Chains A and B, each alone.
Chain A
Amino acid sequence: MKKMAKANILIVEDDRITADIIKKALTNLGYAVTSIASTRKEALKRAEEQKPDLVLMDIMLKGKMEGIEAADQIRSNFNIPVIYLTAYSDDQTLKRARITDPFGYILKPFETKELHTAIEIALHKHEMERKLRETQEWLSTALKNIGDAVIATDIRGFVTYMNLMAELMTGWNKDEALGEKLSTVFKITSSERGEKVRNVVTDVMKKGAVLDLNHNLLLKNKTGEKIPISLNGAPIRGKKGNITEVVFAFRDLSERQQMEEVLENTKASFHSIVERNNDGIIIVDRNRTVRFANPRGLVFLGKNDRRYVGKKFQYPVSKIKSGEIKISRTNGKPGVGEVQVVETEWESKPGYLISIRDITDRKRLFGELEKAHQQQIETRDQFLSHISHELRTPLSAILQFVTILLDGLDGEINPSQKEDLEIILRNSKHLNLMIRDLLDVTRAITGRLDIDPQPISILDVVAGTVDAFKRKATSKGISLCSEIQKELPSVYADSARICQVLSNLVDNAIKFTPENETISIRASLYRKDPDFICVEVADTGLGIDPDAKKKIFEYLYQAIKVTVSSRQGLGLGLFISKEIIFRHGGEIWVKSVPGKGSTFYFTLPVFSIARLLAPILTSDCLQRGFLTLFNIKIFPLDKPFPSQIWENIILVVQEVLQSSLFQDSEVLLPTMNSSESGKTFFLVAKANKKEAEGMVKRIKRQLELCDILQSTGIEPIISFSKINIPRENISTQLDQIATKVMKKMGKEVENNILLHGESK
């Protein structure tokens, strides 16, 4: 009440003295009097201007009952509570005044206490009314705009209210619906039996609480359209707890029903797809607990009931994206299942969908196919190996006896016989090369063309080839010249194989170059990629037809185009050359102008220790921060061995070392240098001191088993040293590590490995 003490009050009183008394009394009570009006007109004006909290209104103004009229207007226009002041307590006056619903009466003459009480009650009542009105407005707005349709009826079932949604759904206008019977406006039937649903109002009233009428109801609207709905009814109670109204809320289910139908159908078809699927489908959560398993999945996993759900899936899930597991097949026999795991959601939680497919038959079939294929390859290989063996043995006999004759072991021969024998010898050797080509082609096709790369000097290979063909070229008046770029690095290649390629190219060039011309062999760093060396063989011969250019490297190309009379051989040379170069990681191609000549090019990778070390430089190795370099030295004890046996010894040692390596932690570096006085092999391993000592023992034991080392009395001397490596990124540090390794390997190697200058 205290806070209302400062209420502003307008006094409407035509008797000035009374007005002053009232004003004084009000001021004493702590109210503020905004003004005093003496006429109806003035009262309205003041009320509008000053917006007082309360008006004290004399009923009789200037002898007329104008006060009642003024009070009515003030209340309805400005919503200000009015208390009547009257000297008349007669029934007539009060009755009229009551119609205007005043907030109180004060009979003149009044007591101050009476005045105070009346004012406070009026203010309080007004406040309460205001709040109530607000709530009602809010409720009415809410009802109007709510998504559900709302209809209210009185207890006899006459419509008293309907909101917008109810209008839309029933098709009835609010104004025409009000006062109508509910059953007229709101026609509902049971969708199952088509029966009319009556007496909903009575039903709600009987129950006296919220009634859920949610079982498949259809609302027939004004246009006759039937809408599936859900319906709730609730009684509204009056102050005394008696039911005064019934409210119905209903909702259009047609969309939802359709959705539900679709969903139901989808669910059903998915269910049948999953249940009948030939693949096993398992869903597990993040903890590997099985949340779902279809029948086939249960069979595959050897579980025969649904209690599997909730148990742990027996395989680690997050690790396998796909893989194979053992399954039990539908016939009860063991088989192989292909597993695929994808992330999924199950009941709104992340999990994994595991599908298992029975691939037993497929695997067996593939296995058989693979086996058959392998057998086919093996048979062909064996066949060719057999043929070559069969061809070589008589060829060996021919060569042996020709040399026996040439060496005069069976008596003197005359110069003419000697010449004939040399022709036999040359042709036999040619035959031998053709047999080799035949075998190489088969190997190339089956992917078994072996190469044994070592750091080699391309200069040596070129020089060797030039030497070998010098006589043949000279006899045709052709000069062979070689241009090798200075300080060319070593290439990582199989010397014999590259010699084979180069010989083939030079041999071809000699065949197609007219007399008295020049064939150039050039080698330089490959301009497009300095990690490669490019070798060229250029002739000034016939050149190659542009159409043929692409085909000359193909298998048996030459054999088809036998019309070129000057060609000889099997025409396998370029195909084998291509395969050899590819196997080295290089490329081979030709540029040619018909009538002017051709240039064949091939590239070979530059030797790099870094590349060889890369496989063992794994993260654990970098973490250790060191590698171990082993030096395995062999040298003749007394006098140097003949070159043939010395080469054999080196090959044996290399083979033994190579075969005893652990591929992922040890690398045998290529043999770099060999002299008659000794040879050092280098081996790099991920090993600490203790491991290194073990390795030395292991290598020694292996080498001791070699007959040739035993018989020659060679004892390898093995030492090792630690190489610290930076613990950083591999790719950037690789060259740095390689350099460190090379430094350790010593000067002798450095000279040989880095540069093959003209000094060689």
Chain B
Amino acid sequence: MSKKKILIVEDDLDLVNALTKRLRANSYDTIYALDAASAIQEAHKEKPDVIVLDIGLPGGDGFSVKKELDSSVYLSDIPVIVITAQNDSTTFKRSWRAGVAAFFQKPFDDQQLLSIVETVLGEPSLIEEKEE
């Protein structure tokens, strides 16, 4: 089975590097985007298995990215994990309403993030089993 691909959407390059290092150390393939527009572009091009999405982004926030993803037949099924520095209940609630798979606040615990990624990636097989 090939490595699962994770798209990191984050405007802070240091954090992108940290996440890349952490996820690659756990045998995931990673790609990244530094703004909303390139995030959509990358998603279309690379068809990632999971997207780790920051909310505060240049050129449209994370919610607009999620909305864009949902409007595409090819991308709407990709689970999205939100990681944000915004700490208010509005962002939290908006994320749930947008239908994200998980929500993390910066700074986050990488072990928890890894376990979520693992779970989210595990799910499609569950659904397939059920459909059979």
A interface residues with partner B (beta carbon < 8 Å) = 385, 388-389, 392-397, 399-401, 403-404, 407, 409-410, 428, 432, 436, 439, 450, 452, 637-638, 641-642, 644-645, 648, 651-652, 655-656, 659, 705-708, 711-713
Contacts and interface: CB of A to CB of B under 8 A. Distances in A.
B21 A410 contact: yes
A409 B21 contact: yes
Contacts of B100: 707-708
A535 B116 CA distance: 36
Interface string B69-99: 0000000010110000111110001001101
A712 B124 CA distance: 8
Nearest to B94: A655
A450 B120 contact: no
Interface in B94-132: 96-97, 99-103, 106-108, 110, 112, 115-116, 118-120, 123-124, 126-127, 129-130
8 contacts: A392-B106, A404-B18, A637-B130, A638-B129, A644-B112, A645-B116, A655-B93, A708-B102
Contacts of B86: 385, 389
Given A450-B89, A644-B119, A711-B120, A400 B103 contact: no
B1 interface: no
A713 B106 CA distance: 29
A535 B106 CA distance: 31
B15 A397 contact: yes
B119 to A, nearest CB: 4
Interface of B: 12, 14-15, 18-19, 21-22, 25, 56, 77, 79-80, 85-89, 93, 96-97, 99-103, 106-108, 110, 112, 115-116, 118-120, 123-124, 126-127, 129-130
A439 B96 CA distance: 22
A393 B15 contact: yes
B85 A713 contact: no
Contacts of A705: 99
A146 to B, nearest CB: 88
A652 B130 CA distance: 22
B96 A655 contact: yes
A393 B101 contact: no
Given A409-B25, A637-B126, A652-B96, A708 B85 contact: no
Listed residue (B77, B87, B124) with the most chain A CB atoms within 10 angstroms of its CB: B87
A385 B85 CA distance: 9
Contacts of A400: 15, 18-19, 22, 107, 110
A648 B97 contact: no
Among A648, A659, A706, the most chain B Cβ lie within 10 Å of the Cβ of A648
Given A393-B15, A645-B101, A708-B102, 14 more contacts: A392-B107, A393-B85, A395-B107, A397-B14, A400-B22, A404-B18, A432-B107, A450-B89, A644-B115, A645-B116, A648-B101, A707-B79, A711-B77, A711-B123
Contacts of B96: 651-652, 655-656, 706
Nearest to A636: B126
B101 A392 contact: no
Given A389-B86, A655-B97, A645 B102 contact: yes
Given A404-B21, A651-B96, A713 B116 contact: no
Contacts of A428: 107
B90 to A, nearest CB: 9
- The 8 lowest CB-CB distance pairs between A and B, nearest first, are A400-B18, A707-B99, A392-B85, A397-B14, A645-B119, A396-B107, A655-B96, A389-B85
Given A642-B115, A645-B120, A711-B124, A399 B107 contact: yes
Task: With a 10 A CB-CB cut-off, give which of B87, B103, B106 has the most chain A CB atoms.
Answer: B106
Contact of B14 (A394, A645, A652): A394
Nearest to A436: B87
Contacts of A711: 77, 79, 101, 120, 123-124, 127
Contacts of A708: 79, 99-102
Nearest to A658: B93
A632 to B, nearest CB: 16
B127 A439 contact: no
A305 B93 CA distance: 58
Contacts of B93: 655, 659
Contacts of A407: 25
Nearest to A712: B123
A404 B22 contact: yes
Nearest to A397: B14
B72 to A, nearest CB: 14
Contacts of A432: 107
Nearest to B125: A638
A644 B102 contact: yes
A496 to B, nearest CB: 12
A642 B118 contact: yes
Contacts of B15: 393, 396-397, 400
A393 B106 contact: yes
Nearest to B93: A655
Given A397-B14, A637-B126, A642-B115, A659 B99 contact: no
Contacts of B89: 450, 452
A231 to B, nearest CB: 89
Nearest to B24: A409
A713 B127 contact: yes
Contacts of B87: 388, 392, 436, 439
Contacts of B101: 645, 648, 707-708, 711
A395 B14 CA distance: 11
Contact of A713 (B21, B103, B130): B130
Contacts of A436: 87
A388 B84 CA distance: 11
B85 A712 contact: no
A206 B112 CA distance: 123
A638 B18 CA distance: 34
Contact of A644 (B21, B107, B116): B116
Contacts of B130: 637-638, 713
A656 to B, nearest CB: 7
Contacts of B103: 648, 651
A651 B100 CA distance: 11
B110 A403 contact: yes
B43 to A, nearest CB: 15
A409 B22 contact: yes
A618 B56 CA distance: 44
